[in-house]
Structure 1
Amino acid sequence: MPVARHVLAHAAERPSRLAVCGPGGELTYAGLAERISGAARHLRDRGVGPGSMVAVALADPVELLTAVLAADLAGATPLVGDPAWDRRRWDHLTTASLAARISAPLPQVAGPPVEGEARPDDLAWACFSSGSTGRPRAVIRTRASWTGSYSHLDRLAGIGLDDVVLVPGPLVSSLYAFAALHTLATGATAVVPGRWPGRSLAAHLDSASVVHVVPHRLPDVLRRPGSLRVAVVGGAALDAGGGCRRAAPPTASLRVAVVGGAALDAGARAQAAAAGVRVVSYYGATELSFVAADTDGSGLRPFPGVEIEVRTGAHGPLGEVWVRSPWLSQGYLAGAAGPLRRDAGGWVTVGDLAEPYRAGQVLRLRGRGDGAIQTGGATVVPEDVEEVLRQVPGVGDVVVVGLPHPSLGSVVTAVVEAPPARQPPRALLEATARGALDAAQRPRRWFVVPSLPRNPTGKPARAQVADRLAGGDPEIRRLV
């Protein structure tokens, strides 16, 4: 069933329940259902319907969700992109016929209910993925591959009707878009600031029982000042401090953090447990959706419905992760090139590496194959090195890349994120590397930068870091 029709059903059952709360306003389920229906009628009047693709690029997250759901109700495929892109950028990235571009809030048109037959194999969602390589490409998926996993996530994370779910990132990211739409399909309240809240994080968390984050943001969530009190929001826009102004009496603390996008270290889990927050982490990709989840800290195991193979041979002791599941995308729009590959048996991969794996075991990821560094005949997986260096006091985050070397092929290079006043000593970094890494893995060149470039999900943009290093960016300085 389309997510929009879930919203209409929730509006009929609990019309006054707050559906979505953003920086510019809020909507109850009744209000959201009315907006969706009126906007869907407008789209239908413009000839937008089944088989159409609609580009949605709105800065306001509530308006963006309204437009996405209106397209969904009209039977079209919404393609969510960056509101900063101009028409030329859209044309370059899509190379496909778009029925409409939505860059302003949709007008409301009165009339009868929007009717239409929806099938599980309809192309019902499209979004952009840049992964760790930089160039965005549009990934398209069926309705079943997008919404069929909702009930499994509800069960694994314990998300239900009475939850208030904080989605603290840009909805152009598939991770955060999925989180917001899953929340609305469930009938819970989605708090969508549209970007990382920064100083207002504590106020946002005071009105949340669940939060979706990427790994490097989890420590910020757990060390927030103030109480862990939670309120079930009854209906209000975000106030100046970031929270929802009107709320029902407090009922529970923040209890679940859903963490996706990269490895999660044991220290973060321990910190979460001390704060009384359960962590549900998962591994996936925009092209693959969910692949594996860790609900209790025991390690990643296949997400419901997913089969996993790790095929060894081309990457030394490691192998490529291949997946077969109901949650896979259809591929890239207009046949664009990308890391997604398929075989004749219905298995797909995006090139992620893992240790050898057998059914029933824990999946131990080791990064992306196309990011591996070949140095002096050895293969170094950057994520292995980064995991060690992130433990050094003063390191906000770190990216490890390979820089060209005349005899070694590449030399392992670390770019540390740290403010100028609190840069970790190079000697401490090198001592940590000597104590925990093999000789080939240890960085030979060290740089520091106040802030790493990041992709829309918040993960460091490895390719941008490498490009900036190669270009002699003066902001990236040698660590001496």
Structure 2
Amino acid sequence: MRRPEAWVRDCPDKPAVVDGERTLTWREWNSAADRLADWLDRTVPDNPVAAVYLHSRVEWFVVNLALAKLDRQQVAVNWRLSVSEVRHVLADSGAGVLFLDAPDPLAGARLCEGLDTLAVPLRGDGAGVDLPTAIRLGRDTPRVSTGRARPVIYTSGTTGRPKGVVKANGRDDTAPPAVLAYLAARRRRYPATADNRTLVSLPLHHGAGEGQAQRALAAGGTVYLMDRFDPEGALELIQRHRITEWSTVPTMLFRLRALPAEVLERYDVSSLERVGVGGASVPYALKDWAIDFFGEGRLHEAYGATEVGTITSMPPHLHREKPYSCGKALDLVELRVVDRQGNTVPAGTEGELQVRTPLTIDRYVGGPELGGDDLTEDGFFRVGDLGRLDEDGFLYVTGRAKDMVVSGGVNIYPAEVEQALRECPGVVDAAVVGVPDEEMGELVVAYCEVGPGSDLTREALLEHAAERLAAFKLPRRVHLVPELPRNAMLKVVKNTLRAWAAEEPESAR
């Protein structure tokens, strides 16, 4: 994997990043980054941390490369966070500068008020320096990068305040040998070349989106950006640019599958060589559809966590042989399933998943060393998922430990109920939560996202589910909604669903 400056030398006029109608060549990218790095070095010389609050656009990459040339940390800020959450990230990380593209030019001043953080907006208000001005003021002094800025990714914060994780650079010779070996093994599993044309529709503030883009660029490929996911828009980009690689989350594939057949047939996706999927459990029916739509051997499922990196990968040719598995552990990954006492359980037995990789963190940014709730004494991270391993070492994730519903003293796994609901015609996606009940302890409540113009009824949905689930697992309340609440990675925010269920008037239950 090569540094950007090497590709500037070899193919200066080749497109590196394409954002709609805007194209940044390798030469243009490197020159802008050199100028910005010079301005930063003179303006904020003593703080090695910069926060980036930008959507998926070419400027994100200019900032990233400038920070890499200064060997600084880049704190990725989720653009869906509230003002108080963004201020928490800035204070928690100690960022000395904030790059942002908020539509309000005064937003930076409000976000940085009372903090030792300089706001650099994409579009200025005349009171300070904006990003284009900073680039123009910088001197065109060539600098050599470390490959990429040192990434700090903040967790989604769906269960509390966002927490920062310092990620491995991957091209830094000072990294521990085990980290470099793990990253090299991961690159062998997912090889990239200069011929790759990669569609990035995952947000760049998340490790998956940022990692996919960096992997493509390190190999000399071209990245095509899609800031806000639209299923037909993605198909149009794939056809127009002859995209070879695309990484998704299940929600994207659900929404793609929900398009009318005549729309799906309108686009040519035969250029795709690899379609990645991860970030949440992938129902087998969805995998089966994706294999038929994209073609055999192209769907690559992975399972991982921000705190430990990629954990498992599923060989494309085994999806139908082991339909409910998310694959085997990567090289240098230790994976175990334990019971409530922490004892490793036999193959086929469900329990809590614990993982140890060379990337496993021992603390969050600004926090103390992790304790037993997160990290075991022997260094295994508790990812919060339940699952089992089969005799061949393949992993099956069965749900989130904290999402378990206990109704009438019986454990009910939301993932199982959700899968049954998603198989009903007219359902785009489904999410299940437990709500307190005086008699049963908890009740199963389902929220189902239905497509436009759907005539699906609650009665028909429950009849469908009753054919697939035991009676005690059936939802006691079902809501048909036009859209489920999601975070920037399109994961369903179940805390919001629990709040909705709690606020529901008694008469509507």
TM-score (norm 2): 0.79
**Cα deviations across residues 207-249 of structure 1 (Å, max 9, x unaligned)?**
211111001212545665356547xxxxxxxxxxxxxxxxxxx
- Who is 2:433 aligned against? 401
- Note the C-alpha offset of 1:276: 4.2
1:72 has 2:68 as partner:
yes
Deviations 1:408-446 (A, max 9, x none): 111011111114631422233223322222333221111
Mapped to 1, the partners of 2:314 and 2:508 lie a distance apart of: 38
* Cα separation, 1, equivalents of 2:203 and 2:403: 25
1:243 maps to none
Which residue of 67, 91, 96 corresponds with 2:87? 91
TM-aligned CA deviation for residue 311 of structure 1: 0.9
Instruction: Please tell me whether residue 195 in structure 1 is matched to residue 217 in structure 2.
Output: no
Q: Give distance in 2, aligned partners of 1:217 and 1:301.
A: 24
RMSD: 3.2
Q: Distance in 2 between the 1:127 and 1:142 partners? A: 11
SS of structure 2 residue aligned to 1:443: coil
Rounded to whole Å, the distance in 2 between the matches of 1:11 and 1:339 is: 47
Check whether the contact 1:229–1:254 (CA below 8 A) recurs between aligned residues.
Answer: no
Aligned-pair distance for 1:123? 9.1
Matched, 1:110 2:152: no
Q: Which residue of 1 aligns with 2:154?
A: 128
Q: Is 170-179 or 346-355 further displaced after alignment?
A: 170-179
Which residue in 2 is equivalent to 1:143? 169
Q: 1:65-113 CA deviation, whole Å, 9 max, x = no partner? A: 2212221221111001134657653332343421211223432222433
SS at match of 1:364: strand
Matching residue of 2:288 = 270
User: 1:15 maps to what in 2?
Assistant: 12
| Larger deviation, residues 453-462 vs 428-437 | 428-437
Name the residue aligned to 1:30. 27
Rounded Cα–Cα distance in structure 2 between residues aligned with 1:292 and 1:43: 39
- In structure 2, relative to structure 1, the CA distance for the partners of 1:86 and 1:70 (3 Å cut) is farther
User: Contact 1:420–1:450 (CA<8 Å) still a contact in 2?
Assistant: yes
Secondary structure of the 2:433 match is strand
The amino acid that maps onto 1:460 is V
Cα distance per residue 1:189-208 (max 9 Å; x no partner): 11112121344222211121
1:134, distance to aligned residue in structure 2 (A): 5.8
- 1:245 corresponds to which residue? none
Q: Matches of 1:76 and 1:359 in 2, distance apart?
A: 45
Q: For 2:453, what is the secondary structure of its paired residue?
A: helix
Greater relative contact order structure (CA < 8 Å, 6+ sep): 1
> Are positions 1:160 and 2:178 aligned together?
no
Shift of 1:41: 1.9
1:344-365 CA-partner distances (Å, limit 9, x unpaired): 322112211112x367421110
1:288 to 294, 304, 308: 308
CA displacement 1:264-297 (0-9 Å, x = unmatched): 2333333333334310011111222201111221
Show the counterpart of 1:346: 379
Q: TM-score, normalised by structure 1?
A: 0.84
8 Å Cα contact 2:85/2:162 also seen in 1:
no
What's the CA shift string for 1:46-73, capped at 9, x where partnerless? 2447x72211112352211221222122
2:205 maps to 1:178? no
Aligned twin of 2:115? none
Cα offset, 1:173, TM superposition: 2.5
Which residue in the other structure is 2:442 paired with? 410
The residue type paired with residue 372 of structure 1 is M
User: How many residues in Structure 1 have an aligned counterpart in Structure 2?
Assistant: 448
Q: Secondary structure at the match of 1:12?
A: helix
* Distance of 1:26 and 1:177 partners within structure 2: 18
Task: Give the corresponding residue for 2:334.
Answer: 307
Please name the residue that 1:466 is paired with: 498
Q: Which consecutive unaligned segments of at least 5 residues does structure 2 have?
A: 101-120, 123-130
Q: Supply the distance in 2 between the matched residues of 1:455 and 1:84 (Cα, whole angstroms).
A: 7
For 1:268 and 1:275, locate their aligned partners in 2 and report how far apart those are by CA, in whole Å: 10
Q: Distance in 2 between matches of 1:271 and 1:312?
A: 35
Distance 1:190 1:290 in 2: 21
